[in-house]
Amino acid sequence: MSINSKTNFFLKNLLRGILWLIVIVAVYLLARKFNIIDEEWMAQNLSPAAVYTLFVGSEVVFGIIPPEWFMFWSIKVGLFDSYFLDVAFLAVLSYIAGVLGYFIGANLLNINKYTFLQNKVGKYRPMLEKYGGFLIIVAAMTPLPFSAIAMLVGSADYKFKNYLLFSLFRFVRFGMYGYVVLQANTIT
């Protein structure tokens, strides 16, 4: 595997992530401009425990809701007094959800009756064969479904220690995206 192939794979997915982030920020800014988002209602009616539970559920089930939405929520409502602590907490929860995904893959994907999971996760198997552990890094930092990749590497008996190490790049993503979300929130 050449370095150029890995670099191209990473840059292609990073570009998709940046474009996705731009779309999310634009939707958020438009929703704020047209008063579609009621931040006071969110603060009064969405308990942090419920939101964090939804976040973990989303992260385990292939990232159904983009983490950036939870970052926007954290600016006004989060659990901590510091937005950066809230984003760090989201990153920890996402990392833990990835570990849970790894164990789901290790324990359930090898059982034939879970064909739904095998079909959703299996499409990434050629990428794992081609990129190995680098796929975990790319999934941790880009829109590739982090949980699906975690399940895949778990089912492939990938070394857990290496998975934990490569998954730390999830914190880099949350740090970078969290900063962009905070800056977007300052736009009036």
- CA-CA-CA-CA dihedral for 68, 72, 77, 80, to nearest 10: 60
Give the Å distances, CA to CA, from 106 to 87, 138, 160: 28, 20, 10
Q: How many domains does one find in the chain? A: 1
Model pLDDT, residue 153: 93
What are the helix (H) ranges across the chain? 3-33, 39-45, 48-60, 67-76, 83-108, 115-122, 125-131, 134-141, 146-155, 160-167, 169-185
* Nearest-angstrom CA–CA distance, 93 and 14: 22
* Nearest-angstrom CA–CA distance, 125 and 105: 12
In the chain, the amino acid numbered 181 is: V
End-to-end CA distance of the chain: 47
Model pLDDT, residue 187: 85
Model pLDDT, residue 171: 98
**HSE (side-chain half, CA atoms, 13 Å) at 164:** 5
* Nearest-angstrom CA–CA distance, 160 and 91: 19
Per-residue pLDDT tens digits of the chain, which is 188 residues long: 667 899 999 999 999 999 999 999 999 999 888 888 777 777 788 888 999 999 999 999 878 899 999 999 998 888 888 999 999 999 999 999 999 999 998 888 666 656 666 777 888 989 999 999 999 999 999 999 999 999 999 988 899 999 999 999 999 999 999 999 999 988 86
Element (H, E) at 132: none
Q: Which domain holds residue 111?
A: 3-185
Model pLDDT, residue 113: 55
* Nearest-angstrom CA–CA distance, 122 and 148: 9
Model pLDDT, residue 163: 98
Structure tokens at 48: 């942090």
pTM score, two decimals?
0.91
